[in-house]
Chain A
Amino acid sequence: MTLKNKPVIALTGATGFLGSHLMAGMITKGYNIIVFGRPANNESLKERIFRLLKWLGVDSMSDQVTCIDTDLSQDNLGISTAEYARLCSAVDSVIHCASDTCFSESKREKVMAANINNLEGILEFSKNSHVNFFHYISTAYVAGTGVTYCKETLSSVKTFTNVYEESKAAAENIISRFCDKNDIPLSILRPSIVYGDSQTGRSLKFNALYFPVRSAQTIRDIYLNDIKNNGGLKAAKNGIFIDKEGYLFLPLKIYLPYEGDINIIPVDYFVNATIKIIENCSINGIYHLTNPYRTTMKIVAKYFEQLMKVRGVEIIYGPMPDDLVRNPAEELFDRFIEPYRPYLSDNRVFDRTNTPLITDNLNPPEFTYDIFKTCMEFGIKVNWGASIFE
């Protein structure tokens, strides 16, 4: 298929984790992308995008990407009327991937502004552009709490784990109503927790799945340093030592409320499945990009111990006893993973009726030790993102 045959897609959130990988995947497939975004940290949007394309190894195709400085919170996306009109006639479809993924209640206003208030501008643009399709990147967790089987339908649940889930569920409903009213074909894609590339380990962000691993690694390194360089008194006080086989014994009891899974998909699956959905989706289709293979924190803990040469990590399902005395490492770990805890032992089952049909039965890989190792070693190599562009 030649470039001319591919639709021109306006993409928001291209500087984020999912958006950047999706942008790279789509230009590789020959799409022309118009990125709607903003400059940041003294870098123009064009510079930011080029840096990402280079990092993703597709900078040779940068001529397929056009950057437009936009502000989704402003009328006409904050661009001139003439430019707006020109873009309206150029764009064939829209992928709205921009999102504030913060979970904190204290950031409610900011999250709601980004995920709900900013919809108006991009939806109006889609209407004015008479787009063929509006694709919304949502989350599987719009399912909310108290649900065990999550269907590929709009959510009517009122209770959520955090403001992020709540905002995304509300956004789905707003978008759906708008598209319905204005005859805009809509598809909603709902990924679960996304980690790096299952083949290369490459990832732009290191939160979600990575956070418990990074937290445990940080704690490990603190005590290893104490033992190796400072006499190890603090480590010994907490029963931490290096055993005969050179493993660090780190008593880390991780309490999770009940037995459940952590639903994770690699970003390469997300990209491939999303492109297939975009190319084949039906009107008002909702697609769960989730993993049918079970992964539990017990498995992740086992992988962690193997990779990090640690022993003593224990996953315990059930409520934490009120009078339980936690060691400093456990207390720190508890606090570190708190926002992610509801996702670490999840007993929700995600309906996958629509997705396999439209993606030629494309499935995410099972989360094996090799994938874990590849992804975590990449994270360590780039210092969990701190030196990712160096």
Chain B
Amino acid sequence: MILYEALAENKISVTEKCVEIADSCDLCGKCDYQCYFVNEMRPTKVMEALKNHVKNFINNGGEIKPTKDDAILTEIRKIVGNEWATNDDGITVTYSHDLSAISEPKMPDYVVMPNTKEEIASLVKLFKHHNIPYTMRGNGQNLLGFAVHEGAIMDLNRMKTIEFDEKNWIVKVGPGVAAFDLQKQAQKRGYRINAAEPAALVCANIMCSGIMSTFSTTYGINADNFVDAEFVNHEGSFFNLNDISSPNLYSYKNLEHKNSPGICVSADIRLHPVSEDERGILVPFETLNNALDFIKDCSVRHIGLALGIVGVEYISTFLSPTKKLASDIKNIFTEKLNIPWLVVVIGDKFAIRSIGEMGFPYFDERLFKALYLGLPSLKNAQWLELVKEFSDDEPYSYLKIKSFAEIFETALAPSAKSYSQEVDKELSPFFEKLFSRPEMTDILWLNTYRIMSTRLGRKKPFLPALLYLPIDKKLINEFCDKFRLIAEKYHIDNDFGFITPIDNGKRCIFEYDFFYDYNDPEEIQRIRQVGMEANMLIDEYSVKTGVVKGHPYVLYQGFCRKENLLYS
């Protein structure tokens, strides 16, 4: 998409690589599947436009821009091989953006794909010698513009080694390993890792600001997630985190602008045991305060492996096959089902039983599946009015009816087929097949692989405000109110993201999201203001309370001890 946009807007000329890219695509349509799932976009249409653009350019006698001779490129290629480095605009332009529209695009001079840590070390020395700035890049998942820069971009996607050391409960991963792939390998062996979103690279994630997820409730954050890591420093030398002489990356400084300690070329990630009876449930709440009490209570009592409060925007966006339905479902959740808040709980049978004994009704996996695949029927369900009135006296008491799942299934007639009717017609067969897979409606699997958060930005991309703070109802409500007021001042859509308790309920991770239209330059200006004011607010509370830590400060400190981050 970036390439086509650059060509269509004459930002670059048609190059050799552009032709190669256009020719390599047979418009099979497979890339539409993932893209449509996440944000309802159809990249095949863009590829078709790209192919036509290149074809027309050639047919009209356009001159293909050859690759420029460049002495530095030659030296880079000596290190990584000819095919793994380029200065072709058709490639470099695709590295000029990341997921953020807030950061200014920056066109790199070179894109390099090293395969070993030794190659990285040599490249660092070379770039230092020629005074060329360099930036590491994983899958371009960063939301804040940290993965774009002039100079050289080192794309680490070739470095995908995964080596298990089961005796020591660790797995050594290369810097090109994505969270999904690692989790998959870990799961095959009966383990779990604490992972970020599926496409995020594990090492990059730690480097940036540390791994966090709903599993951070028990698995922790930052240094809790690894045992050791290897780096190439800015001189091109190696060091290991556990070397006595290495820089102390376990420390934490509350500073906004810090330098990267180097390039993480591998990390020994901790493996966690998995019990066979683990499953997921969703516990509904009428108020945020009730949900906060619940997660704090569970966390203090060590009930549940993973806990997270999600708002109705989050859950309706994830459950719905289309943006349109998401909007309808959001209203149904709030107006009819009276579920503005849900707590996702992953736990073993004892944890789930405890929650039942605590008196909280919940959606178990059967009900969740019915709700998910029955969503199109829910939209028009007449009986919701009755359920609403029925719940007035005792919220969600219908969930306590033993055979409610049976009735719920009868009423919604959930099926992958009916669910898939909602998507673009030509994609229906694929989605029917996809949603026939049991894991797609399995709360445990969806959280283990962090699929539940993947659709959050489908309506609009978002700028998250992330912070660590105590599970203090007054404080959290103040932040919600003030974030909302900031967003409203600039007419920016906004919503609660999630809250996950950490460290036995002493603190939590809180995300509040600001949504913006990346095609509207004026709105991008406004979201920048929102980001700035949100950070100022966090700073103000950080000073005032001494217990609030803003996530931007954690940048490049993802290796720090959580105790240093949270309590120092």
Q: A residues touching B (Cβ–Cβ < 8 Å)? A: 102-104, 106-107, 207, 211, 214-215, 218-219, 221-223, 225-226, 229-230, 234-235, 326-329, 331-332, 335-336, 339, 383-386
Question: Would you call A384 and B390 a contact (CB within 8 A)?
Answer: no
Q: Is B407 an interface residue (CB 8 A)?
A: yes
Closest residue of B by beta carbon distance from A235: B410
CB distance from A334 to the nearest CB of B (A): 8
CB distance from A230 to the nearest CB of B (A): 4
Residues of A within 8 A of B394 (CB): 104, 106
Complex CA gap A332/B400 in Å reads 10
Residues of A within 8 A of B386 (CB): 214-215, 218, 336, 384
Question: Would you call A221 and B382 a contact (CB within 8 A)?
Answer: yes
CB distance from A186 to the nearest CB of B (A): 31
Question: Would you call A332 and B407 a contact (CB within 8 A)?
Answer: yes
Q: Is B256 an interface residue (CB 8 A)?
A: no
Residues of B within 8 A of A385 (CB): 385
Question: Would you call B401 and A331 a contact (CB within 8 A)?
Answer: yes
Interface size for B (C-beta < 8 A) is 22
Residues of A within 8 A of B243 (CB): none
Known: A222-B410, A339-B393. A384 touches B401 (CB 8 A): no
Known: A230-B413, A335-B398. A106 touches B393 (CB 8 A): yes
Cross-chain pairs A/B with CB under 8 angstroms, 10 sampled: A102-B393, A106-B394, A218-B383, A221-B382, A222-B410, A235-B410, A327-B403, A328-B404, A328-B406, A331-B404
Complex CA gap A222/B403 in Å reads 14
Complex CA gap A218/B392 in Å reads 18
Question: Would you call B401 and A102 a contact (CB within 8 A)?
Answer: no
Q: Is B5 an interface residue (CB 8 A)?
A: no
Residues of B within 8 A of A329 (CB): 407
CB distance from B359 to the nearest CB of A (A): 11
CB distance from A229 to the nearest CB of B (A): 7
Question: Would you call B397 and A107 a contact (CB within 8 A)?
Answer: no
Question: Would you call A103 and B410 a contact (CB within 8 A)?
Answer: no
Q: Is B297 an interface residue (CB 8 A)?
A: no
CB distance from B405 to the nearest CB of A (A): 9
Pick the residue among B385, B390, B410, B413 that contacts A336 (CB under 8 A): B390
- Which 5 residue pairs spanning A and B have beta carbons closest together? A104-B393, A328-B403, A234-B410, A328-B406, A218-B383
Q: Is B409 an interface residue (CB 8 A)?
A: yes
Complex CA gap A234/B398 in Å reads 19
Q: Is B402 an interface residue (CB 8 A)?
A: yes
Closest residue of A by beta carbon distance from B401: A335
Residues of B within 8 A of A104 (CB): 392-394
Closest residue of A by beta carbon distance from B384: A386
Complex CA gap A383/B389 in Å reads 13
Question: Would you call B403 and A331 a contact (CB within 8 A)?
Answer: yes
Complex CA gap A326/B406 in Å reads 13
Q: Is B411 an interface residue (CB 8 A)?
A: yes
Residues of A within 8 A of B390 (CB): 335-336
Residues of B within 8 A of A335 (CB): 390, 397-398, 400-401
CB distance from B332 to the nearest CB of A (A): 13
Closest residue of A by beta carbon distance from B412: A222
Given contacts A222-B411, A230-B413, 8 further A-B contacts (CB under 8 A): A207-B389, A222-B383, A222-B410, A223-B410, A229-B413, A234-B409, A329-B407, A332-B398
CB distance from A211 to the nearest CB of B (A): 8
CB distance from B308 to the nearest CB of A (A): 26
Q: B residues touching A (Cβ–Cβ < 8 Å)? A: 382-383, 385-386, 389-390, 392-394, 397-398, 400-404, 406-407, 409-411, 413
Complex CA gap A221/B385 in Å reads 14
Closest residue of B by beta carbon distance from A219: B407
Residues of B within 8 A of A229 (CB): 413
CB distance from B369 to the nearest CB of A (A): 15
Complex CA gap A104/B393 in Å reads 5
CB distance from B483 to the nearest CB of A (A): 23
Residues of B within 8 A of A383 (CB): 382, 385
Question: Would you call B406 and A234 a contact (CB within 8 A)?
Answer: yes
Complex CA gap A223/B385 in Å reads 18
CB distance from B189 to the nearest CB of A (A): 40
Pick the residue among A107, A215, A386 that contacts B393 (CB under 8 A): A107
Complex CA gap A381/B401 in Å reads 29
Complex CA gap A296/B567 in Å reads 67
CB distance from B339 to the nearest CB of A (A): 17
Question: Would you call B392 and A102 a contact (CB within 8 A)?
Answer: yes
CB distance from A228 to the nearest CB of B (A): 11
Closest residue of B by beta carbon distance from A329: B407
Closest residue of A by beta carbon distance from B383: A218
Question: Would you call B383 and A331 a contact (CB within 8 A)?
Answer: no
Complex CA gap A121/B397 in Å reads 35
Closest residue of A by beta carbon distance from B402: A331
Complex CA gap A229/B393 in Å reads 33
Pick the residue among A107, A230, A332, A339 that contacts B404 (CB under 8 A): A332
Residues of B within 8 A of A218 (CB): 382-383, 386
Name, among A104, A222, A339, A386, the residue most crowded by chain B CB atoms within 10 Å (CB to CB).
Answer: A222
CB distance from A98 to the nearest CB of B (A): 18
Residues of A within 8 A of B383 (CB): 218, 221-222
CB distance from B417 to the nearest CB of A (A): 11
Complex CA gap A214/B390 in Å reads 11
Residues of B within 8 A of A103 (CB): 393
CB distance from B459 to the nearest CB of A (A): 25
Residues of A within 8 A of B413 (CB): 225-226, 229-230
Known: A104-B393, A226-B413, A335-B398. A328 touches B382 (CB 8 A): no
Name, among A103, A106, A328, A385, the residue most crowded by chain B CB atoms within 10 Å (CB to CB).
Answer: A328
Closest residue of A by beta carbon distance from B395: A106
Name, among B390, B404, B409, B413, the residue most crowded by chain A CB atoms within 10 Å (CB to CB).
Answer: B390
Complex CA gap A339/B393 in Å reads 9
Residues of B within 8 A of A386 (CB): 385
Pick the residue among B397, B400, B401, B410 that contacts A226 (CB under 8 A): B410
Pick the residue among B382, B389, B401, B409 that contacts A332 (CB under 8 A): B401
Complex CA gap A276/B392 in Å reads 35
CB distance from B436 to the nearest CB of A (A): 17
Complex CA gap A118/B501 in Å reads 41
Complex CA gap A34/B390 in Å reads 33
Closest residue of A by beta carbon distance from B409: A234
CB distance from A227 to the nearest CB of B (A): 10
Complex CA gap A229/B406 in Å reads 17
Complex CA gap A332/B411 in Å reads 12
Complex CA gap A193/B233 in Å reads 81
CB distance from B254 to the nearest CB of A (A): 44
Pick the residue among A102, A211, A328 that contacts B407 (CB under 8 A): A328
Residues of A within 8 A of B385 (CB): 383-386
Complex CA gap A219/B398 in Å reads 14
Complex CA gap A385/B386 in Å reads 10
CB distance from A385 to the nearest CB of B (A): 7
Residues of B within 8 A of A326 (CB): 403
Complex CA gap A199/B413 in Å reads 39
Closest residue of B by beta carbon distance from A230: B413
Closest residue of A by beta carbon distance from B336: A386
Complex CA gap A332/B406 in Å reads 10
Residues of A within 8 A of B382 (CB): 218, 221, 383
Complex CA gap A331/B409 in Å reads 15
Residues of A within 8 A of B411 (CB): 222, 225
Closest residue of B by beta carbon distance from A237: B406
Residues of A within 8 A of B400 (CB): 335
Complex CA gap A386/B392 in Å reads 16
Complex CA gap A336/B398 in Å reads 8
Complex CA gap A106/B397 in Å reads 12
Closest residue of B by beta carbon distance from A106: B394
Name, among A215, A229, A230, the residue most crowded by chain B CB atoms within 10 Å (CB to CB).
Answer: A230
Complex CA gap A154/B386 in Å reads 35
Closest residue of A by beta carbon distance from B415: A230
Residues of B within 8 A of A107 (CB): 393
Complex CA gap A369/B402 in Å reads 34
Complex CA gap A25/B310 in Å reads 49
Closest residue of B by beta carbon distance from A162: B393
CB distance from A114 to the nearest CB of B (A): 14
